[in-house]
Structure 1
Amino acid sequence: MIDLRLVRENPDLVRASQRARGADESAVDALLAADAARREAARRGDDLRGEQKAASQAVKKATPEERPAVLERAKALAAEVKQAEEAQREADAALREVQLRIPNVVHDDVPPGGEDDAVTLRTVGEVPTYDFPVRDHIEIGEALGAIDMERGAKVSGSRFYFLTGPGALLEFALAQLAISRAVAAGFTPVIAPALVKPSAMEGTGFLGEHDEEVYRIERDDLYLVGTSEVALAGMHANEVLDLSKGPKRYAGWSSCFRREAGSYGKDTRGIIRVHWFDKVEMFSFCAPEDAAAEHLRLLQWEEEFLQALELPYRVVDIAAGDLGTSAARKYDIEAWFPTQGTYRELTSTSDCTTFQARRLTIRYRDADGKNQTAATLNGTLCAIARTIACLLEVHQRADGSVHVPVALRPWLGGVEALTPGMTLVAPVPTA
């Protein structure tokens, strides 16, 4: 939720952010008007309560002759106070409704434009070349007995799949590698709920313009999350955190569900864009002044993970018009997909400043012991299905086998390659 004080003190900054996003500038004026109406309603309520208190005192001091008139005035004031309190509740609700419509204020350095205007910051690793016809991840996965799209569709419909044999082991290996690296970096591992209340979805900014992408369980008024960011943020709703020793970091594993309502006809083949996948998500709570540095740390950990998987990638700074509601800045890491001849998003990290924490009432005590709104940040360490797709394509060999990156081998029984018809080896934990 946007900071009302910022809107009052610097409305032009918020208008500029709205323009950069391609959003409605008039929403800022509507918010200012709603804020003024709420403050006026609160002032009137306070004034009437003051009069009511004075009238109550007057009743005690009134003479028998004065008492009927004074009582009548006190009774009228009680009715007016009740009306004023109802008006204040309505004004509060109207303010919140308008406030929820305005997305986070973008950072000054965010590139202008939309989806096609992201700025490439750096490219890491060499794009591989092959002396044989490259196959896509589905052809490779089917030959390995790792992916079964046909039966996934039979059981659940389009954009669903089975991971079998080496595909299932790859999922577990990637999850283990991601979690182990996150723990080594100081994150607390969390198995997060995939079903959450509406308050958690609204608090993290995934309702409103995003609700078409969300699965809702109407009977129980619960939502299936598209990322464990939702549960991790909501975990500390209405709490005061101890950030005296630095950011509070979690690495959450959960299944993720997305309707992909706006992607008809896109990526219909394979497991790049699916309705369900598993993911390891990094999430940080920190003081607002530490958020920019924490954002770069999350990005660094994402890069190190892709380097461990021996995948070529590029880092892009997402343009203002392509940012989600809660993000003030977002970096994507796009890995190379040989059969598409381009880079595709594999991970991302967003600085949400105090936007989500204000909605969820997540605070911390500053050096003076005063409660302040915390900042929240998130970063995907491994979206497993899409990462498997990339691994199979980048590391394919002419004989149909797939090179296993060194970092993954301890979680795959030490095998150096996945081969069609191979005998599965039980994973061996690291010493």
Structure 2
Amino acid sequence: MLDIKMIRQQPDVIKKRLATRGVKEETIDKLIEKDVLRRKLVVESEALKQERNTVSEAIAQAKRNKQDASEQIQAMKEVGAKIKQLDEQLTVIKDETHDIAARLPNLPNPTIPVGADEEANVELRKVGTPRKFDFEPKAHWDIGEDLDILDFSRAAKVSSARFVFYKGWGARLERAIYNFMLDEHAKEGYTEIIPPYVVNHNSMYGTGQFPKFTEDVYSIKDQDMTLIPTAEVPLTNYYRDEVIPEEKLPVYFTAMSPSFRSEAGSAGRDTRGLIRLHQFHKVEMVKYTKPENSYDELEKMTTNAGNIMEKLGLPYHVITLSTGDMGFSAAMTHDLEVWMPAQDTYREISSCSNCEDFQARRAHIQYRDENGKLQFVHTLNGSGLAVGRTVAAILENYQNEDGSVTVPDVLVPYLGGLKKITK
């Protein structure tokens, strides 16, 4: 959430920066108008409460002196009624102000590209050279079904479209990939966590999924609980409503978890294969840092994700997302996109974001600086990596003309020495 004081003091600056994220000026004007009214009502209510306290003391004194205080008592009844009315108005205005503020996205970092969508994204670097095939490369879903390691049709029967059964070496490959990823992140100083896969609505609010994106998740009926769309949610809320000791910063967490997404609004996109499922595994990285270090930590996180790709021998590039393509809570995002031979293009496999203090304000996560003053931490999150998309990339990049798939060297020990998946 954005600092209301900052909005109040720099309305034109905020309007200009949020306009690049599709926020209309009138939305900010409405927020400021309600904030002005809220503060006015607070002043009026507090003044009447002070008057009531003062007169109540006078009434008590009059009673002790056996003096008539009926007029004062009647006046205080009227004051009490006004206070009640003001407080009721204040509750409504507070809720309306909060609702507007809670739906505003984070301020984009001034250095990122400005644009309406992915067309404005900027490539930072390419790593690795896409393989040149001497045969027509097949799509990963065809490879997986031919090898009998992926079963989409039975998953659709059991669940619905956009689910999959991993079978045999397919299941073991998925497990090998996320074990490899977790081991690599542990070497980089991340503490491995097994988080809850169901969280309450306060947690979803803390990371910015609620209230704006309630249609994108699977909520449990009649309960204040939601299946996690990513392990970012429980990991970032780990310190919700807490003050982290300064000496603990930075904190690095990593976790493998299932992720559940309704994929609202994605009808017709990636209907085949592992790219856009309702349920998939992802290894997540989350950091809590001091503000002055957060952008250095973003570069380190992006490098951590890239190292996984390089050790797996997968060609990729890194792009900085534009203001219009970036996620709601992010101030800056670097996406890593892996080369997919069958599609002849790069596809997202990791997204690393610095949320600055946006999530920390919503979740009330602070630390006490060297002067003893409470400050909000900066939070960062990134995929390290999306496991199903990594499976897809390996199947396509390591496929052979006979339909088999060569296992990347780093995964061979995780697969009991298997070097090639065959029928």
Give the Cα–Cα distance (whole angstroms) in 2 for the partners of residues 378 and 174 of structure 1.
Answer: 20
For residue 107 of structure 1, give the secondary structure of its aligned residue in structure 2. Answer: coil
Report the CA distance between 1:79 and its aligned residue. Answer: 2.7
Higher mean C-alpha deviation, range 296-305 or range 251-260: 251-260
* Residue type at the aligned position of 2:109: H
Shift of 1:115: 2.2
Q: Specify the alignment match of 1:256 in structure 2.
A: 259
Between the two proteins, the alignment pairs up a number of residues equal to 420
What are the within-5 Å matches in structure 2 for residues 160-179 of structure 1?
160-179=163-182
Question: Which of 88, 105, 108 pairs up with 1:86?
Answer: 88
Q: CA deviation at 1:65?
A: 4.9
TM-score, structure 1 as length reference: 0.94
Amino acid at match of 1:2: L
Deviation of 1:316 after TM superposition, in Å, equals 0.6
Aligned ranges for residues 38-117 of structure 1 at < 5 Å? 38-62=38-62, 64-113=66-115, 114-117=117-120
Q: Which amino acid aligns with 2:351?
A: S
After superposition, residues 179-328 of structure 1 pair within 5 angstroms as 179-328=182-331
TM-superposition CA deviations, 1:224-272 (whole Å, max 9, x none) = 2211111112222111112324311110221111112212111112111
Report the residue type matching 2:198 in the other structure: L
Letter aligned with residue 328 of structure 1: A
TM superposition shift of 1:38: 1.5
**Aligned partners of 1:347 and 1:383 also within 8 Å:** yes
Aligned to 1:427: none
Where 1:235 maps in the other structure, the secondary structure is helix
- How far off is 1:299 after superposition? 0.4
- Code of the residue aligned with 1:376 in structure 2: it is T
8 Å contact 1:41–1:91 — kept in the other structure? no
Aligned to 1:22: 22
Pairing 1:373–2:355 present:
no
Q: How does 1:119-158 map onto structure 2 within 5 Å?
A: 119-158=122-161
Structure-1 separation of matches of 2:349 and 2:153: 24
| In 1, Cα distance between equivalents of 2:175 and 2:291 | 35
Q: Any gaps of 5 or more consecutive residues in structure 1?
A: 421-431
Identify the range of structure 1 (88-97 vs 183-192) with the bigger mean alpha-carbon deviation.
88-97
State the distance in 2 between where 1:136 and 1:404 align: 17
- Secondary structure of the residue that 1:203 maps to in structure 2? helix
Which residue does 1:402 correspond to in 2? 405
Compare 84-93 and 318-327 and name the one that shifted more. Answer: 84-93
Amino acid at match of 1:89: T
Moved over 3 A (4+): 60-66
Please tell me whether the aligned partners of residues 59 and 67 of structure 1 are also in contact (alpha carbons under 8 angstroms).
yes
| Partner Cα distance (1:179, 1:54) in 2 | 64
C-alpha separation in 2, matches of 1:188 and 1:203: 21
Alpha-carbon displacement from aligned partner over 1:316-368 (angstroms, at most 9, x marks no partner):
11110111211111111001000000000011111111111111111111112
Give the distance between the partners of 1:101 and 1:193, measured in 2 at CA. Answer: 26
State the partner residue of 1:10.
Answer: 10
- 2:276 aligned counterpart, secondary structure: coil
Of 126-135 and 367-376, more deviation after overlay is shown by: 367-376
- Scaled by the length of structure 2, the TM-score of the pair is 0.95
Any idea what SS the aligned residue of 1:244 has? helix
Within 1, Cα distance between the matches of 2:209 and 2:24? 19
5+ residue gaps in structure 2?
none
Task: Give distance in 2, aligned partners of 1:157 and 1:46.
Answer: 57
Letter matched to residue 296 of structure 1 = E
What is the Cα deviation at residue 20 of structure 1?
0.8
Whether the 8 Å contact between 1:148 and 1:163 is mirrored in structure 2 is: yes
Q: Distance in 1 between matches of 2:381 and 2:350?
A: 11
**Shift of residue 164 of structure 1?**
0.7
Cα distance in 2 for residues equivalent to 1:80 and 1:29: 28
Amino acid aligned to 2:30: A
Deviates more, 1:338-347 or 1:224-233: 224-233
Q: CA separation in 2, counterparts of 1:23 and 1:90?
A: 23
Give the letter for the 1:200 counterpart: S
Do the aligned partners of residues 121 and 135 (structure 1) sit closer, same or farther apart at CA in structure 2, a change above 3 Å counting?
Answer: same
Offset of residue 76 of structure 1? 2.5
Task: Give the Cα separation in 2 of the matches to 1:323 and 1:31.
Answer: 23
1:8–1:32 contact (8 Å) kept in structure 2:
yes
Aligned-partner Cα distance in 2 for 1:54–1:152: 71
Deviation at 1:280, TM superposition (A): 0.8
Please state how far the C-alpha of 1:8 moved relative to its aligned partner. Answer: 1.5
